[in-house]
Amino acid sequence: MRDSCVYDCTMIELDKHHHEKGNISVVENDRTIPFEVKRIYYLYDVPGGESRGGHAHKELSQLIVAVSGSFTVTLDDGKVKRTFLLNRPYQGLYVVSGIWRTLDDFSSGAVCLVLASHIYDVNDYIRVYDNFLNYKHK
Ligand code: TYD
């Protein structure tokens, strides 16, 4: 989505079923998030000081959850940047397509779960920031 902006991205509060033996949080297609999950992946063992992401997607939407630990996600639509701290397993950051994202400041043991609207497609990525700006301003 060329004309998407960072204000289209929101923190979604997930269901949290509290139980003395532990908690459960739930994500349901089309109900919790406005897309159908086609792929799940997760980042873990990210070395301290490492930065991940550094790209945008043309079509893909995502929900990003810090299921363990914490990290920051900076979103950039070519005009405005917003930074979110993800540190709760019952919150997910909904990121629409057409947004440059960078993930930083991973705590030790952090696990970044990503629910994605499409299967992996290398052609959906924009990996060069100048190309991203051209794409957005076209
Ligand atoms: P990449 O998306 O570049 O990681 P990040 O943006 O989080 O730093 O992916 C890293 C590598 O993993 C790259 O070689 C492609 C591969 N990969 C897959 O094969 N399938 C996937 O679903 C994902 C997300 C990555």
Residue in 55, 57, 118, 137 annotated catalytic: 55
Cα angle value 28/67/122 (rounded, 5°): 75
Residue indicated by tokens 């997760």: 42
Gap from CA of 19 to ligand 1 centroid (Å):
35
Pairing of β 91-95 and β 10-13? antiparallel
Mean pLDDT of 84-96: 98
* pLDDT above 80 for 138: no
pLDDT (tens digit per residue) in 24-39: 999 999 899 999 999 9
pTM for the whole thing? Answer: 0.96
Q: Which atom of ligand 1 is nearest to the CA of 122?
A: 15
* C-beta 69 within 6 A of ligand 1: no
Query: What pLDDT does residue 44 have?
Result: 98
pLDDT (tens digit per residue) in 42-61: 999 999 999 999 999 999 99
Query: What pLDDT does residue 19 have?
Result: 87
Query: What pLDDT does residue 107 have?
Result: 97
